[in-house]
Structure 1
């Protein structure tokens, strides 16, 4: 830890970070463990409790954002966000007083901000593509709905026409049979009278 305390950075405990990020304390611990497994150092006090700096919280926000994307695991999000982020020096925090921690290097902040901006841009591009695909799907659903309605109407009209044709054919057969019966009996009775 540096001796210069004029530019001290505030640190936050796990519960504070969980409240800020809107996630469970266990999830914050999982993110922190994965970050540490990938070489990232998070400050700890003499009781081995994690003390998160603003940069740590920014990285966790980005991990959370990437992890929400379809098909991205938390592990992949951690790996992606931590690429290019230099690991911190191991530091300890005494007691609950975290106000004397030194700030990160300006160059490290710039690198982190550039990395976050790059991933924000990629995330926004993916979000825009996703929104565009959703719009296309809705249009296709409307087209399919219209086609299904047309097909249903066509089938209904065809069925009505077939039913009408069957009725007319049946009526014509009845009339023909009735005429044929009259002709047979009238011929039969005519012959007897002769």
Structure 2
């Protein structure tokens, strides 16, 4: 456990360290994780890191290294380990720091500032999360409404299409039946015309036959009364 904190030494929040070293708070947390992964120790209040000056120097070393960051983290950890072994054996833990801070107004002020900054950052994060959740709920609600509208639209379109198809089929059926009826009427009319023409033709033929018959009878009758040669020639001409 660390015991290298000095009397009246200032404590820093993650946000304050980020501002001092010119990094994002997420980057400071990432570098802290790299250091811890390689054996470096931080003062902590639960899961929250509390930084002192030596910790800021460790973050700067990770920031400025040109080597792999894990290699630099191991070097920083070794320096911290050597410093702790060479230091005095006074055990200073975080609760002791809090107890000393109660006796030192400046240290108490610094710790309260750290807590206030972390609380402000937490509140800001909570506010952002609430806003994100609210936007997400709004988006989900809009998606549900859009889904309902699309489903209703598809259903209505399908129903309208089915109805229109039924109407079209009914119209085509009626039109076909109407055309069929018209063709039937035309056929009947043509048949009637043909029958009438045949009857008229038969009548003509019958009249012509009657006429020819009467003419032959008259010619025959006249041939008896007049010279035979004259009426035979006339009959021959008529038959021709």
TM-score class, shorter? 0.5 to 0.7
Q: TM-score, normalised on structure 1?
A: 0.55
- 1:133 maps to 139
Alignment RMSD (CA, Å): 3.8
Which residue, out of 113, 118, 131, partners 1:107?
113
- 1:170 maps to 176
- 1:62 maps to none
- 1:2-44 Cα deviation digits (max 9, x unpaired): 368xxxxxxxxxxxxxxxxxxxxxxxxxxx993168xx76796
Q: Alpha-carbon deviation of 1:153?
A: 0.8
Which residue, out of 145, 155, 164, partners 1:149?
155
Question: Does structure 2 retain, via aligned residues, the 8 Å contact 1:44–1:50?
Answer: yes
Q: Alpha-carbon deviation of 1:148?
A: 2.0
1:51 aligns with 2:51: no
Q: Alpha-carbon deviation of 1:154?
A: 0.9
- 2:128 maps to 122
The DSSP-based 3-state class of the residue aligned with 1:50 is coil
Q: Which protein has the larger Cα radius of gyration, Structure 1 or Structure 2?
A: 2
- Residues 179 and 52 of structure 1: CA distance in aligned 2, closer, same or farther (over 3 Å): farther
Structure 1: which 5+ residue stretches go unaligned?
A: 5-31, 60-85
The DSSP-based 3-state class of the residue aligned with 2:47 is helix
- Residues 113 and 184 of structure 1: CA distance in aligned 2, closer, same or farther (over 3 Å): same
Structure 2: which 5+ residue stretches go unaligned?
A: 8-24, 56-79, 86-90, 99-110, 201-240
May I ask how many residue pairs the two structures share in their alignment?
136
Q: Alpha-carbon deviation of 1:145?
A: 1.5
Q: TM-score, normalised on structure 2?
A: 0.46
Q: When you count helix as a share of all residues, which structure comes out higher?
A: 2
- Counterpart-to-counterpart distance in 1, 2:6 and 2:174: 105
Pairing 1:1-194 to 2, within 5 Å after superposition: 1-2=4-5, 34-35=27-28, 49-55=39-45, 57-58=47-48, 88-90=52-54, 92=80, 101-102=93-94, 105-194=111-200
- Residues 142 and 108 of structure 1: CA distance in aligned 2, closer, same or farther (over 3 Å): same
The DSSP-based 3-state class of the residue aligned with 1:90 is helix
